[in-house]
Chains A and B, each alone.
Chain A
Amino acid sequence: MAEPTTGRKKDDSAAVFTQKASLVSACVHGVKDWAAALDKTLALLAEKPPLDPQVPSEKKTDPSARILAAPNLDHERFRHLSEKCGPYPHIQLIRDNLRNFPGGIDMGVTTADYGIADTGTLVINSNEEETRLATMLCEVHVAILGVSDIRETALSMTGELAALTREKGSYTAFVTGASRTADIERVLAIGVHGPLELHIILVEDD
């Protein structure tokens, strides 16, 4: 794993990361710990408008219903999230079989392995199909990133990236902002084939 960074450098990198990610219209939220990160996720979900299904669905769904996918949270954290969702029956929390939701899901929440400060980029191990689908089919992607996992540049972490990408079957994603295009008249439009919004929750005590 990475060599430990000094506190000062860590702060600088987090500030640069936040600024660069904001430039590509990602929303960065700082929180103290994981519990707060999950609370913030649910708060974002509560604000979210209903899903705009991308494929025709047979059954009319309840406009208050929300689908939340959290495929790559570890067992403990998923259980924690599940408990927090308990009081809200309209939230359907899932972690498997995302192929059953081709029309989209409201929110995908994933951890991110690293952040790259100078471009505001998330590095996400997406070897598992469910992780990929959660970050592709969701309307809002919430990525939870530890402050200590932020590196200055991609080139400064080639060792870590090589370790991620050399594995057989590896699928490593750099994600910077929401899905976008400028293909019509070079006018920027957010949300083409991927998320319409990207939220990054920076966790101080990872």
Chain B
Amino acid sequence: MAETRESLTSYKHRLGDALDNRFLRQAMDKFAVAYRASRENAFAGMDVAELIQQVADIKAAAIDDNKALLAQFVTKARAHGITVHLADTAEDANRIIGEIAQKTGSKKIVKSKSMTAEETHLNKWLENLGLEVTETDLGEWIVQLRKEGPSHMVMPAIHLSRFQVADLFSDVTGTDQDAEIERLVKVARKELREKFVQADMGITGANYALADTGTIGIATNEGNARLVTTLPKVHVALVGIDKLLPTIADALTVNRILPKNATGQAITSYVTWITGPSECKTTPSGKREMHIVFLDNGRSNIAADPVFSQVLQCVRCGACANVCPVYRMVGGHQMGHIYIGAIGLITTYFFHGLENAKNLVQNCTNCGACKAVCAGGIDLPHLIKEIHARIQDEAGHPLQSLLLGKVLKNRKLFHRLLRTAYLAQKPVIDKNTGPAPKEKGPGFLRHLPMIFSSDHNFRRLPAIARVPFRDRFARLNRPVENPRFTIALFSGCVQDFVYPEHLEAAMRGFAQHNIHVVFPMDQSCCGLPAVSMGETSAARDVALQNLDAMAMGCTNYDAVHYIVTLCASCASHLRHGVPKLVRDYAPEKAAAFADKVVPFSVFMNDILGIAPEAGAGADAGRKTAFHSPCHLCRGLGVHDSPHELIEKSGNQYVPTDEEETCCGFGGSFSTTFPAVSNEILTRKLDDVTGSGADLLVTECPGCVLQLRGGAVKQGRKLTVCHLAELLYPSS
């Protein structure tokens, strides 16, 4: 578990240690691959998007209605004889539970797994009162014995090997234990049975709290929660107020997704529904004493926040960690404070404060994999950026981020700096472009400029072009008679200044297909880098500038049929990010603009419907893998168009397992966390190489920068290019 006030440097050291931990890496990678398959299997034949929408609707309505549901639950529960407590803060909850233990004379406590109890650090509190607390979920027991926190919300010990567990159990039992999983599980069965039998009090969480009947629902696999709620004389359930739902039908709807998303199971082995004190033959009344402690701890404030209320749609399945490329590399202790994964990056700020959240929240490539699987339909990547911005507003913006924001807001200054950068780098450009003779760019930077530290050197960085695309456009643009379409080209800054050859290739294609192209010179960076650095106001300024620039004096953008971009990140940001940023400034304008934005592959394949062999290069017929930019597959929902274009180019499209996994670029992510970025990149390139492809095509200059730079640096026999270059190579 992270100490508070950890510096970014020390956090990076922790990440480095995790990356060096070979077992952790293997365990996490195996898990990521297996999870993907088992989740797909669990949802086979179901309309997942619709199920998620149902859950999102149910949870959103329940959050809106939270106060009424709580009141209804409390009335019912009290009628059943449950003592209900309301805890405003984590400390209140701990104190209440400690007092229950003292009043009931409980000395020994057994617990079943509860993330809410982890949130409040309940065990530490109770142990300080001299109580013995035993976690009975196998994974929780293991991490408790190791004095660690859980590294995953549903698989707390996923970071450990059987050998580590065997050593631990040998210590606990005083006899040597074999590293055989079946036997280790039996050791826990035996060791913990005693604890169940001796316990005075049982503590659980709850997955559901049903207002209409005062019932709690608990999902488990091991059966420990059943013993925890049956053998001891006292049962205390610690429940976040976000777990309230109107009826069992709502809970059953959520429960159709929760286990499938968590572990790929159709349902957990046990779902237990408890409505008030149940029979307990060892008490004088014949009933167990039952308490429910409802925890707020900031949840009411979240519920009232128009941006963040959706955080409470989380059902704690942990899927956002399971698919996260960063989690896959570094594990949960590095990818969360108490709550793990994308949701943890957000809730840490609310539940455990800015200091614990400030480093974590930057550790996101913004790939959107979490959003695509979230059971509650939460826009996690967007909220992570919002938290990042909020933290910077509260704690102060770092100089680098402030400068970036200032520069981006002023297009002329930004572009002048890029031109100056070309001159500054001249002495360090390496003309040798590696094993890709067709690549005609200005080459790679031989040494990194001083501003980069040495660990950025994991990929060759491209040089800035001598002549940016904007200065080439007039020469490239030929008048078209009776054009099929008129399009505005949005270049984005990386293609404008680093890879103008991508846009040049596209211009050849547009000319072949009778497309009239306009290039508004006042367009600037799309603003995504500012968003990813937490500079919301700069991002908004840039968005408004672009809205004006691309309108070219017309209303509703009706001067053009489409706004085409070769950068999937720009496309996704222009279509979805910009309307969000300017919703209080120019919502209609932004909507009209967003409607016109299409990525290159969609324009060529689906709108123009280009024929096969169009522009097929001389060395066609190569086995070609596609790296789908996160902002293309998940950001824009484009999956097949690029495959079809690869086939149309005369090459053979080869599917790869990790096609839609992030390359690790993530804009500022790769410069903030170069070591993690490098490992994600290497895993990606291994997958491509393993498929037998020797050509890797993508549709985003950032991905080209990362993948080509990595392929060259690692000496791989792999050519990386943009889809436009594949279709319309220079002759």
Contact among B138, B213, B222 with A194 in the assembled complex (CB-CB below 8 Å): B222
Chain A contact residue count (CB 8 A cutoff): 56
- Within the complex, the shortest CB–CB distance from A144 to chain B, in Å, comes to 19
* A194/B248 in contact, CB under 8 A: no
Stretch at the interface among B190-198, B329-337, B667-675, B715-723: B190-198
Q: Is the CB of A186 within 8 A of B221?
A: no
Closest to A54 in B: B193
The size class of the interface chain B forms with chain A is: 35 or more
**Whole-angstrom distance between the alpha carbons of A128 and B279 in the complex?**
6
B272 & A171 in contact (Cβ 8 Å cutoff): yes
Give the residue of A128, A167, A183 whose beta carbon is less than 8 angstroms from that of B157.
Answer: A183
Known contacts A167-B275, A169-B276, A194-B222: does B161 contact A183 (CB below 8 Å)? no
CA distance A195 to B192 in the complex (A): 15
* Chain A residues, Cβ within 8 Å of B272: 171-174
B655 at the interface (CB under 8 A from A): no
Within 8 A of B (CB), among A138-184: 154-155, 158, 161-162, 164-184
Residue A86, interface by CB 8 Å: no
In the complex, chain B residues whose CB is within 8 Å of the CB of A118: 266
B268 in contact with A176 (CB, 8 Å)? yes
- Say whether A193 contacts B273, CB under 8 Å: no
Docked CA distance A157–B3 (Å): 48
Q: Which stretch, A35-43, A57-65, A106-114, A129-137, touches the partner chain B? A: A129-137
B270 at the interface (CB under 8 A from A): yes
B 461-499 to A, binary, CB cutoff 8 A, 1 in contact else 0: 000000000000000000000000000000000000000
> How far apart sit A192 and B186, CA to CA, in the bound complex (Å)?
7
Q: Is A181 in contact with B185, judged by CB distance below 8 angstroms? A: yes
The answer on a CB contact under 8 Å between A184 and B215 is: no
Please tell me if the beta carbons of B269 and A168 are within 8 angstroms of each other in the complex: no
- Is there an interface contact between B276 and A133, defined as CB atoms closer than 8 Å? no
Answer yes or no: A82 CB below 8 A from chain B CBs.
Answer: no
Residue of B nearest to A161 (CB): B248
Q: Determine if B253 is an interface residue (Cβ-Cβ < 8 Å).
A: yes
Is there an interface contact between B213 and A103, defined as CB atoms closer than 8 Å? no
Across the two chains, which residue of chain A brings its CB closest to B229?
A171
Of A24, A127, A169, A187, the most chain B CB neighbours within 10 A belong to: A169
Question: Could you tell me if A194 and B223 are in contact, using CB atoms closer than 8 angstroms?
Answer: yes
| B227 shortest CB reach to chain A, Å | 6
Q: How far is the CA of A200 from the CA of B273 in the complex (A)?
A: 21
Are B188's CB and A168's CB within 8 A? no
In the docked arrangement, what's the CA distance between A169 and B80, Å? 7
Kindly state whether residue B438 has any CB partner on chain A within 8 Å.
no
By the criterion CB–CB under 8 Å, are B287 and A186 in contact?
no
Question: Per-residue 0/1 for B31-44: is the Cβ within 8 Å of any A Cβ (1 yes, 0 no)?
Answer: 10010000000000
Annotate A47-87 by CB proximity to B: 1 below 8 A, 0 otherwise: 00000101100000000000000000000000000000000
B165 at the interface (CB under 8 A from A): yes
Chain A nearest CB, measured from B206 CB (Å):
13
Cα–Cα distance between A154 and B255 once the two chains are bound (Å): 10
Asked whether A174 lies within 8 Å of B267 as measured between CB atoms, the reply is: yes
Given A119-B266, A176-B270; A186-B155 close (CB under 8 Å): yes
Task: Report Cα–Cα, A55/B224, bound state, in Å.
Answer: 16
Contact A166 B213 (CB under 8 A): yes
- A-contacting residues, B175-196, CB 8 Å: 181-182, 184-186, 188-190, 192-194, 196
Contact of A129 among B136, B158, B265, B278 (CB under 8 A): B278
Pairs across A and B, CB under 8 Å, 7 listed: A127-B279, A165-B273, A174-B273, A183-B139, A185-B160, A189-B181, A193-B193
Known A23-B266, A167-B275, A174-B270; further 20 A-B contacts with Cβ < 8 A = A99-B282, A119-B266, A120-B266, A129-B279, A129-B280, A132-B226, A155-B249, A158-B247, A161-B248, A161-B252, A162-B213, A169-B80, A169-B276, A174-B271, A179-B223, A181-B138, A183-B157, A186-B34, A193-B136, A193-B224
Task: Across the A-B interface, give the 10 residue pairs with the lowest CB-CB distance, nearest first.
Answer: A194-B223, A183-B139, A192-B222, A174-B271, A54-B193, A179-B223, A170-B275, A183-B138, A172-B273, A189-B185
